[in-house]
Structures are given as C-alpha cells and as structure tokens.
C-alpha cells in the first residue's frame, strides 16, 4: 500500500494485516532487534496472505531489556516524538519507537495517510511532538479502533501502550472472540553458529567469468577462447595477444571481446 492513497484498506483487512505485523514486531523484539523504520512500504504480502516485515537497513540489535538509541533514523512521518532530536546525550527506547511507528502504520492503512504532515522536516517534527491526534471524518471507523490509536500514539513513551497491551485490546481481539496467539517457538531466541555466519555470504562469479565459461562450452575447449593462436610451433605469444590488444590503436577491453563473441554466437 502506497501512502498517501485515496483507496485505503477496509477496517477488516487492516485488522488482519495489523495482527500479522504485531506478531512480527513482537518476534523481532524477542530476538533483541528493533526495526526503527516500520511503515506500509516496508511490508510485503506473501502468497499465503500473510504480511511480512522487510527492510532492516536501520535496524539495531540490543542486549538487555531494550535498545537505548540516540539520533534519528527511519522515515520522518513515522518517527516517535522522543526520537526527533540530534542530541547525542538523549537516549530513547527502541521498543517504544517501533510501537509508535506501528500506530502510525495502522492509522495509514485505515485512513490512507499519516496523522501528521508538513512540507518541511522541521515543521513536521514540531507537529509530531506537540499537535494532538485528530481523526478524519471519512472513512468512518469503529470507536474501538480510535481508542487503540490514541493509546498507541501517546507522545510520552512511558504512557504508550506496550505490545502485550496492544495484543489484548478489544479491537485487536474482536472483543475477545479472536485472541491473538503467537506461533509455537515464537519467543525462543534463534542461535547463530559460526557456520551460519560463514554461509550467510556467497561469492558470486563476475559476469565476465560466467561469459568466459559459456564461451569455452561453445568452442568445446578448455583453452581461453579469447587468447590468439600462435602462428608457429616455436613462436612466442605476443604481448598484444596476452593483453587483448595493448597498443593505443588496438586496445580492447575484455568486456568488448566478450560482447563480440556473444554476438558472433548468436549470428551463427
């Protein structure tokens, strides 16, 4: 969902997606990770109809009970009031920041736009810090949803709802008829071994290497197809042959030669 939009989600669809994101954020926090840039454009819908959280570019790992952050990170319209400062001596809760972003995300899904807007960042920051939360007249939504948004989008992080409180809210549980249960092993810490770390990065051959291998298959030879043949049995290869034409007039790059070879293959 792109924000702003004139076609926001229905309240029921927003409810379904919000529950998925809520469990996702809870899982991240259990794994000692704060996302810091939660918003609709960082969510993807899977083939099975579940919402997945993406883009961990500014996320942060932490130890202990919470991540104590400094400075600003993320998308301004989704940032919590307490994070809108460049003071390096000012610390704020990473968990509470994610919860605020979760509230702005829910607001955006239902109303099609963020609750606080301004053309310049400095004005936007002031609005987020000082202006009260207001609800558009359209679309009409359940009063229970408005109550949840008010409790999530509290300016003071100490008064802001926690994830456990959000999970038990009547709007989230459909008045206790559909309680939100986390999957099995949802709260277990994932252990990462040295082998996992080593296997996390895979070296991918360069395009020129792949092209060279394909050319060898085309020529049915393990010899370098770009190397010029010797003129005689005892003759030595010239430098220009080894360097693919090193004189200023005949200088050619490997990529140029590969392109010519591929073109010739396609013509044949």
Is residue 72 very low, low, confident or very high in pLDDT (cuts 50, 70, 90)? confident
- Tens digit of pLDDT for each residue in 215-243? 666 666 656 655 655 544 454 544 444 44
pLDDT at 112 over 90: yes
Furthest C-alpha separation in the chain: 92
Which two tokens mark 231? 């003129």
- Tens digit of pLDDT for each residue in 172-201? 999 999 999 876 656 677 777 788 777 777
Higher per-residue confidence, 114 vs 223? 114
**Which of 240, 236, 206 minimizes the C-alpha distance to 226?**
240
Residue 7: the pLDDT is 94
Count other Cβ atoms within 10 Å, centred on residue 157. 17
pTM equals: 0.72
Q: Are 26 and 163 in contact (CB under 8 A)?
A: yes
Q: What are phi and psi of 162, to 5 degrees?
A: -90, 170
pLDDT at 245 over 50: no
Q: Can you tell me the distance from the alpha carbon of 38 to that of 258, in angstroms, rounded to the nearest whole number? A: 45
Give the helix/strand (H/E) hosting 260. Answer: helix 254-267
| Domain residue spans of the chain | 11-198, 207-267
- Tens digit of pLDDT for each residue in 116-151? 999 999 999 999 999 999 999 999 999 999 999 999
User: Which residue numbers are catalytic?
Assistant: 37
The fold of the 11-198 domain, in CATH, is Transferase(Phosphotransferase); domain 1 (1.10.510)
């Amino acid at each position: 969902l792109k924000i702003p939009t004139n076609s926001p989600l229905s309240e029921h669809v927003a409810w379904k997606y919000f529950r998925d994101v809520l469990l996702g954020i809870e899982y991240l926090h259990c794994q000692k990770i704060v996302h810091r840039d939660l918003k609709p454009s960082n969510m993807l819908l899977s083939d099975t109809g579940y919402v997945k959280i993406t883009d961990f570019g500014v996320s942060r790992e932490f130890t202990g009970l919470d991540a104590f952050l400094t400075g600003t990170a993320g998308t301004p319209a989704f940032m919590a009031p307490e994070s809108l400062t460049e003071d390096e001596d000012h610390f704020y809760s990473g968990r509470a920041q994610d919860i605020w972003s979760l509230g702005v995300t829910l607001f955006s899904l239902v109303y099609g736009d963020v609750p606080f807007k301004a053309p310049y960042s400095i004005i936007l920051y002031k609005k987020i810090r000082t202006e009260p939360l207001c609800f558009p007249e359209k679309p009409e939504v359940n009063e229970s949803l408005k109550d949840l948004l008010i409790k999530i989008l509290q300016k003071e992080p100490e008064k802001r709802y926690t994830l456990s409180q959000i999970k038990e809210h009547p709007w989230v549980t459909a008045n206790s008829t559909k309680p939100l249960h986390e999957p099995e092993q949802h709260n277990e810490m994932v252990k990462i071994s040295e082998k996992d770390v080593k296997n996390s990065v895979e070296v991918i051959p360069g395009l020129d290497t792949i092209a060279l291998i394909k050319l060898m298959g085309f020529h049915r030879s393990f010899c370098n197809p770009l190397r010029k043949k010797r003129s005689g049995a005892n003759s030595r290869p010239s430098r220009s042959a080894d360097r693919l034409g090193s004189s200023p007039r005949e200088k050619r790059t490997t990529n140029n030669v590969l392109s010519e070879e591929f073109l010739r293959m396609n013509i044949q």
